[in-house]
Amino acid sequence: MTYFSVRMRSDSAGQHISGAERIVREHEVPAVCAALSERALAHPKGMAENTFITVEALAESDILHVPSVGVKEEAVQSPSQARDVIEELLRPMTAYSQVVIEGTFTARNMRGAMLIAADTGKRCEPDAQRGVRVSHMDAYGATEEEFKGKDAAREAIVLASKVAAHPDVLAEVCVSDDPAYTTGYVCIDGTYHRLPHIKEPGSDEGRGRSSSNQGPMLKR
Ligand code: PML
Ligand code: MG
């Protein structure tokens, strides 16, 4: 059976507005294209001037099913507490946890995520401004209804599950690029630790990336 990857990204004046994607059956493609383009037009960051939708056929045999990460809500009250939780979780993985944390909060204008080597603290992406991007993913059995509105957490869990399934990824840290969205996460050992108040509302932290949503990934 053929599936289709449907991906949307939108921008205004060169600034990323929104990105989202699905993997669906042929009969769902038109409705999903409509729903994703509506999302770009009605985005809290402003109506997108340009929306790009890519539809690609995927053979069922090319689709890999991986388990969803477990979710743990952390009782975090402030950005500094969030940093402490990230530091505590990363410390057993690398001597460079501060490099990862600084990278998460200070990167600007990257198009993808950083990939940092756990044993050196050095970046590994061939193009540092582009970073690495995670794409072609969806929740198995997700329905159109569930995807009507933006559900940032649900989409982030799908992305984090794909990242976590890679044997060389030890951890992933995320701060949203949406200035109003102040919940982030660190995903490590198959658990997605949700961190409310990871940044102050209105902060441009997390604006380092465009549509990939995730911050540094720590590579084995
Ligand atoms: C969460 O609510 O669990 C974190 C979601 C991060 C969303 C990142 C984004 O869409 O910009
Ligand atoms: Mg986003």
**28-86 pLDDT per residue, tens:** 999 999 999 999 998 877 889 999 999 999 999 999 999 999 999 999 999 999 999 99
Report the C-alpha gap between 47 and 12 in whole angstroms: 8
Instruction: Give nearest CA residue, ligand 1 atom 1.
Output: 153
Mean pLDDT for the stretch of residues 87-115: 88
Going by alpha carbons, the residue nearest to atom 8 of ligand 1 is 176
A 10 A CB-CB count for 196 gives: 16
Q: What confidence tens digit (pLDDT) does each residue in 210-220 have?
A: 333 445 677 77
* pLDDT for residue 197: 96
Indicate which residue's Cα is closest to atom 9 of ligand 1. 176
Model pLDDT for residues 170-180, shown as the tens digit of each residue: 999 999 888 88
Name which of 64, 66, 52, 59 is nearest 21 in CA terms: 52
What values do phi and psi take at 144, rounded to 5? -55, -40
* pTM of the predicted structure, to 2 decimals: 0.90
Q: What is the CA(174)–ligand 1 centre distance, in A?
A: 7
Note the pLDDT tens digit of each residue in 105-158: 887 767 788 999 999 999 999 988 788 889 999 998 776 666 555 588 999 999
Rounded CA-CA distance 140/131 in Å is 27
Task: State in Å: Cα 190 to ligand 2 middle.
Answer: 22
Separation of alpha carbons 165 and 163, rounded Å: 5
